[in-house]
Each structure stands twice: as C-alpha cells, then as structure tokens.
Amino acid sequence: TNYPAGEADKGMDPMKEIGAGTLAGIAQVAVGHPFDTVKVRLQCQRPNDIVFNGTLDCAQKTFRHEGIRGLYKGAWSPLVGAMFQNAAGFFFFASSKQIVRSCYRLEDAAKLDKAQTFIAAGLSACMALFVETPVDLLKVK
C-alpha cells in the first residue's frame, strides 16, 4: 500500500489487502479486455480474408455489430484470474513488508526505506509465483 511521504503503514489488514487486490483485478480486466479482444481478432485474421482494416476499425465494427458485450467476449476467465492474482499480490506484498519489519526488528507500523521495500517486493514476487504460475498455465490451456 502506498501512503503519502512520511506517513507510516497502519499495519496489515489481510481482508483489506485481498479486497483491494480483487478490485484492482476487476479494474484491470474492465480496462484491458477490450484491447485484448481487438488484438486477438486482428491476429486471427487470415491474409486472404481481411475483415478489419486496423485497430480502430476492428473496435468500431465489433461494437457496432455485437455491442459492448462483443468487446468483453471471453472476459470471465481473465477476470477470475486477475482478481485472484492481484488479491494474492497485494496480500503477499503486505505480508512481505511485515516479514522485513520483523527481520529488521522494526515496529509493526514502521515505514520501510527503499532497500527494505525492494527486499519486500522481491520476497512477495517469489511468493506470488506459486499463485501466478498455475493461473497463467490455466489461461494458455
């Protein structure tokens, strides 16, 4: 969690971190999925059967013929995955900051310096691999 300069963390609330990560996953898919839909439709065109003349044309035709649902077709799986991955990421980063505080014998609400934050980020990335790798594997299958 990022706080204004000088303001220390208020301690870790697991449900707050998981909730914030879940909302981040929803926002990620809400904003990004239409771009993925357009990208995939353009990539799947056959050279001898061009339907779209570029990105904007693809987005416009998809919206005109299928409505907003066309841009979000197939969003359920990425939505669930992004919610899960982001929730885990937020939780692991908050947990990693607490671990670093413990290792440095800092108070629970102490603000970490840049090096300590870097260590916490690396630790959380290692933990996140155990969640993200299976989710990414399911996405490509």
Residue 6's pLDDT band, with cuts at 50, 70 and 90, is very low
Phi, psi of 49, rounded to the nearest 5 degrees: -140, 70
% residues pLDDT > 70 (the chain)? 92
Is 124 within 8 Å of 95 (Cβ atoms)? yes
Per DSSP, the three-state class of 52 is coil
Can you tell me the distance from the alpha carbon of 89 to that of 11, in angstroms, rounded to the nearest whole number?
A: 17
Q: Is the pLDDT of residue 20 over 90?
A: yes
Q: Is the pLDDT of residue 141 over 80?
A: no
Q: What is the pLDDT of residue 9?
A: 57
Q: What is the pLDDT of residue 138?
A: 77
Between residues 2 and 83, the one the model is more confident about: 83
Q: What is the pLDDT of residue 1?
A: 42
Can you tell me the distance from the alpha carbon of 139 to that of 74, in angstroms, rounded to the nearest whole number?
A: 11
27-72 pLDDT tens trace: 999 999 999 999 999 999 999 999 999 999 999 999 999 999 999 9
Q: Is the pLDDT of residue 87 over 70?
A: yes
Instruction: Read off the tokens for 18.
Output: 């998981």
Radius of gyration of the chain (CA): 20
Exposed, middle or buried by CB within 10 Å (0-12, 13-18, 19+), for 85?
A: buried
Per DSSP, the three-state class of 102 is helix
